[in-house]
Amino acid sequence: MSEERIGFVGLGMMGMPMSRNLVEAGYAVTVFDLDGAAIDQALTFGASSASTGSEVAAQSGIIITMVPDSPHVEAAIAGPDGILEGVMAGSVVIDMSTISPATGKKMAALLEEKSVNFVDAPVTGGVEGAEAGTLSILVGGNAEAFERTLPVLNVLGGNVTHMGPVGSGHTTKIANQLIGVATLAGISEAFVLAKKAGLDLQLFFDAVKNGAGRSWALETLGPKILKGDFSPGFMVKHMQKDLRLAAQLAADTGTSIPTTSLIAQLYHSIQAEGPDATSQGHQALIQAIEKLSNAEARA
């Protein structure tokens, strides 16, 4: 068993399998989540629990946060009973959420006052990658903190890249999301066009999946779309959040992102379908194209 004790705050769709992988790798892991049932589930695979983020931090040399959005990270670290209240000098806090780089830098400054390093290490690869320990992890932080956390990150991901100082990981993840969502939009348009033009969609998919348009999105989400499977590996509402972060970063840097802006509007049209629509997988983007085209792209 590793001597490094790990704290884990946030046991959602990604955090639960990630914490399990750390336990199975031999780490002592103390967890906290606002959902008591999630904590109970973590206890079944060998994690121990704490009643607050502060208690997690007091027991851990490396503390990981994996929560939905920037305000949740602020609450987990700097809120009442948060990590900042219990963290020990010399510890490292790793935020693996997808949040604003500005929020990450703000948390880093607060932690630095307590002689604690901050690393931003958002991930890409979805729930499947979290379960398999094959996530791509995009890291920002100083070299010393990166080297200390690398053995832990290597348990969680198959491709760990140090991108630069604090904020670089969050910035890389936001830019990465633009690539992924633009690819998904292209797949959606292609499937609907092929359907309306009379092609057999399964045959179309099989013909193009290894061609110039090959991508993770086509290989992973294409078959789900063809089956009408919109169960979430990554929810619409989380992609909407990421696109909001992209819009803010674009505004801050004076960057034009017209394609991304259009896709954000397409997701808003899905949101308008009702309160449950944004809990679908983000492959539901095709539903907006189907509605505009009056066609359903299924095999």
Question: Domain spans of the chain?
Answer: 5-164, 171-293
Predicted confidence at residue 32, as pLDDT, reads 98
What is the distance between the alpha carbons of residues 169 and 96, in angstroms, rounded to a whole number? 9
Tell me the C-alpha to C-alpha distance, in Å, between residue 81 and each of 52, 57, 58, 71, 95: 6, 10, 11, 15, 17
The tokens describing 267, both together, are: 């997701």
Is 106 one of the catalytic residues? no
CA 106 – CA 172 distance, rounded (Å): 18
Class of the domain covering 171-293: mainly alpha
* Domain 5-164 architecture: 3-Layer(aba) Sandwich (3.40)
* φ, ψ of residue 166 in degrees (nearest 5): -50, 135
Q: Are 296 and 290 in contact (CB under 8 A)?
A: yes
Distance, CA of 168 to CA of 146 (rounded, Å):
12
pLDDT, averaged per 10 consecutive residues of the chain (299 residues), comes to 90 98 98 98 98 98 98 98 98 98 98 98 95 98 98 98 98 98 98 98 97 96 98 96 98 98 98 96 98 97
Contact of 30 with 7, CB cutoff 8 Å = yes
Q: What is the pLDDT of residue 3?
A: 84
Could you say which of 173, 195, 237, 241 is catalytic? 173
